[in-house]
Amino acid sequence: MIDLSGKVAIVTGSGRGIGRAIAQKLASAGAAVVVNDLDRGPAEETGALLGPNALAVPGDITAPDFPQFLVDTAIRERGGLDILVNNAGYTWDNVIQKTTDEQFQAMLDIHVTAPFRMLRAASGFLRESAKREIAEGRRVMRKVVNITSIAATDGGAGQSGYGSGKAAVIGLTRVIAKEWGRYNVNVNCVGFGLIETRLIQPITPEGSTIEVKGREIKVGVQPAVLDSVKTMSPFGRAGTVEEAAGPVLFFCSPLSDFVTGEVLICSGGMHF
């Protein structure tokens, strides 16, 4: 049993998919989870699923001032911050000659700039809390988990922006792991392969899109490509969101208290 009772966690992008599964695992372990999503409806729905200890704070994680607002709200409303999961993200794919500056920058904004701002926003509370605890002779471990992808470690055709942003967050993880070890903060990455979410549904003749800040963005994978990718996994299938959330729970738990700066790939074996 992993016991996170008394811990406060922020999970960005937790209105649906992997983020919701992460939030559910943390809440099941006893954490008070602050749910964030760009869309109010899914954020509040996840909050309701998690119960009275959860708090839904919808908003745009890429807006410059929002990360500080989110961190401050968690501390004010739930009394602290022990776990930060930078999960929010989406894909906006195209081959490089058709990728616009806006498209490339949007991938950097959500996958590395937003996590950077979240970490910076949390830094004051984490540092001051650790200094006080150390002066009292106590060691209290806190956790950061950043989400990356095998598009960063292995590359993915059509994903110059997504792969670049996900690679950059690995570098950010290892820098902050070096900076925050003195404050008893573990900073790690989980990298996903093919996980069953709305972003990898088979493309239909009508096409599949998601709306992000007023943009209609095409998502999905050609069925033949999806089948071929699945054969690359020794398990012969994509992972579930619950399976994706498991390694994140590990990094949020006391089991990882002496692990930092690491990247754990959850891909069903597609990575090697």
**3-state SS class at 253:** coil
Count the residues in the chain.
Answer: 272
pTM of this prediction exceeds 0.85: yes
Please report, in angstroms and rounded to a whole number, the separation of the first and last CA atoms in the chain: 31
Report the CATH number of the 8-198+240-266 domain: 3.40.50.720
Give me the tens of pLDDT residue by residue for the chain, a chain 272 residues long.
Answer: 899 999 999 999 999 999 999 999 999 999 999 999 999 999 999 999 999 999 999 999 999 999 999 999 999 999 999 999 999 999 999 999 999 999 999 999 999 999 999 999 999 999 999 999 999 999 999 999 999 999 999 998 889 999 999 999 999 999 999 999 999 999 999 999 989 887 666 666 556 777 787 787 777 666 776 777 777 889 988 899 999 999 999 999 999 999 999 999 999 998 66
To the query of whether residue 162 is one of the catalytic residues in this protein, the response is yes
Q: Are strands 8-11 and 83-86 parallel, antiparallel or unpaired?
A: parallel
Q: Are strands 215-219 and 208-212 parallel, antiparallel or unpaired?
A: antiparallel
d(CA 65, CA 49): 28
Alpha-carbon 112 to chain mean position: 11
Q: What are the φ and ψ backbone dihedral angles of 216, each rounded to 5 degrees?
A: -95, 115
Among the options 66, 92, 104, 162, which is catalytic? Answer: 162
Task: Indicate the domain borders of the chain.
Answer: 8-198+240-266
